[in-house]
Amino acid sequence: MNSDTSKNIYFASDMHLGAPNHQESLVREKRFVEWLNHITPQTAELFLVGDIFDFWFEYRHVAPKGYVRLLGKLAEMSDSGIKIHIFSGNHDIWYGPYLAEQLAAEIHRGPVTKTFFGKNFYIAHGDGLGPGDYGYKLLKWFLSTRLTHAILRFMHPDWAIGLATWFSRMSNSHNYDGKKEKTIVPLEKERLYIHANELVKEQPELDYMVFGHRHIVLEEAIGEKATCFFLGVWIEFDTYLEIRPDGASLKNWSQEKIAVVSE
């Protein structure tokens, strides 16, 4: 339960900072920080729902360099009393204690349920959820094991981070330049949409389900009262979800305006 019922809750995901190169990532990071500056006065809690970074891995005394504008702003927000939530995604799966210690952030490695303004939320990055995709689910399990962590930590940071970043950029989930076709399937075949429909059967008390990962923007009613949101991707859409005492709105941000994507 949020402590300040006069302020809003915000959700964003899939900034993929670091990709496809420093110059383009920096533009995206600055734009994201501008949005954070805009929402800070009316924010009680901020949820970053996975793939904030295109790659993240921590050693005991080493963390990825860069992202100082974002991390500084998040630290400022946290110091002012705003609760920061960070979800691991399929690209930034290997969070250690660094962000939790420096930002007083709560790190989530799987789906969570929360209650805000009397409404029940299910929040997840979304990778590996829903039917099928067993090859990825096996890969995710392997990448999350202590053995994999030990192998990477045994390597020099320059080698391990360089290798992992290369693999990350080979991922077919990206659409950095707008030229690559997205994998669009009928809604009834979307794994996360199927997962959401199963959730409301198992947990009929849910009011909202919030997902990242799929890089598409969606607001869809499910069951008798629930709404499913896909947050989109900051590489292309600059979309975010605003939760207020009087309801929820999926919006997009630019320097010129905030425009409602769907209501």
Return the DSSP state at 111.
-
DSSP symbols for 114-132: EEETTEEEEEE--TT-SS-
pLDDT in tens, 215-253: 889 999 998 899 999 999 888 889 999 999 999 999 988
95: left (phi over 0), alpha (psi -120 to 50) or beta: beta
Statement: residue 5 has pLDDT above 90: no
Statement: residue 154 has pLDDT above 90: no
- For residue 203, report the phi and psi dihedrals to the nearest 5 degrees: -130, 75
Query: What is the reported pLDDT for 258?
Result: 45
Burial bucket for residue 188 (CB in 10 Å: 0-12, 13-18, 19+): exposed
User: How does residue 262 score in pLDDT terms, banded at 50, 70 and 90?
Assistant: very low
Query: What is the reported pLDDT for 3?
Result: 52
CATH superfamily of 8-262: Metallo-dependent phosphatases (3.60.21.10)
Query: What is the reported pLDDT for 47?
Result: 98
Q: How far apart are CA 85 and CA 48, in angstroms?
A: 6
Structural domain boundaries in the chain:
8-262
Rounded alpha-carbon distances, angstroms, from residue 72 to 10, 106, 172:
18, 17, 31
pLDDT in tens, 159-198: 666 666 665 555 544 444 433 445 566 788 888 899 999 9
The top-scoring range by mean pLDDT among 46-50, 156-160, 161-165 is 46-50
More confident residue, 103 or 127: 103
More confident residue, 9 or 223: 9
Mean pLDDT value across residues 42-71: 88
SS3 98: helix
- Sequence-distant (6+) residues with CB within 8 A of 198 are none
More confident residue, 261 or 85: 85
Q: Could you count the other beta carbons within 10 Å of the beta carbon of residue 185?
A: 12
Q: How far apart are CA 60 and CA 149, in angstroms?
A: 11
pLDDT in tens, 113-125: 999 999 999 999 9
The pTM of the full predicted model, rounded to 2 decimals, is 0.84
Q: How far apart are CA 149 and CA 58, in angstroms?
A: 10
* Residue position matching structure tokens 């299910």: 122
* Residue position matching structure tokens 């009928």: 186
pLDDT in tens, 90-111: 878 778 899 999 999 999 999 9
Enter the tokens of residue 130.
């829903």
